[in-house]
Amino acid sequence: MLKAAIKKAKTHNPIKSRQELENCSAYARIQWARKTYDEGLVMSTSFGIQSAVLLHLVTQQIPNIPVIFIDTGYLFPETYDFAKKLTNLLNLNLKTYKSEYSPEEQESYYGKLWEQGVEGLDRYNVMNKVEPMNRAISELNAKAWLSGVRRTQSKSRRNLSVSEQQHKTIKLYPIIDWDDETIDKYLIGNNLPYHPLKAKNYVSVGDWHSSSPLKPNMADEDTRFNGLKRECGLHLPSGISDYQI
């Protein structure tokens, strides 16, 4: 599917191969995605520590792109405030998706899944993140999905390509090769805010029960899911789980 998209783009875009997509700038990657997928293009955001970067980069070129936000119901109050701030600042076309089960229903049925080891976390993530994202992709008729994943974020992302196929959807990572210094320069240069919890030494922010500030002798990825895992399932090749909800 990706090869077909690149072939389609040859008539109006200089990018002719996956390697060229790898070697070009973030701006050019977004431009290629816009021309190739048009109304079939969406992006996602977690309103995390550095989320303002990709939101700004993309909406400068595609102002009305659907921005998918997965709200688990367990986010920090600061995250909801940050989401409102960036939505207003960048005039985002925000599409919020949630689990079909409220937090109260989930805890009644299953208890606190995040306290039940890797298996509990996997079930929790499918219910609160993977299923709502799959539903968003389907309802928005998305052909391609822009995400702010970067290689420097964790070991599990170190060898990711700039693009990959996840089921029938193409995923593109425009800032896959950006490091923290590049991120900082972009935020400062464009007068964009960090998530407020950065001031409390958070380097990655998700749910309040599964995120912690960076402490001495910790790797960045250890600050998520009590160090048991890094990925929630959205950015694994399968994007799915065998667990039944």
Instruction: Provide CB contacts within 8 A for 149, sequence distance 6+.
Output: 157, 160, 173, 176, 235
Q: Which of 240, 58, 214, 76 is nearest to 144 (CA)?
A: 58
C-alpha 199/C-alpha 194 separation (Å) is 9
Catalytic residue among 232, 233, 234, 235: 232
Query: Which region holds residue 41: left if phi is over 0, alpha if psi is between -120 and 50, else beta?
Result: beta
C-alpha 211/C-alpha 206 separation (Å) is 6
Are the C-beta atoms of residues 183 and 152 closer than 8 Å to each other? no
DSSP one-letter string for 205-219: --BTTSB----TT--
Catalytic annotation on 24? no
C-alpha 86/C-alpha 84 separation (Å) is 6
Q: Which of 176, 184, 180, 142 is nearest to 159 (CA)?
A: 176
C-alpha 15/C-alpha 35 separation (Å) is 11
| Residues belonging to the active site | 232
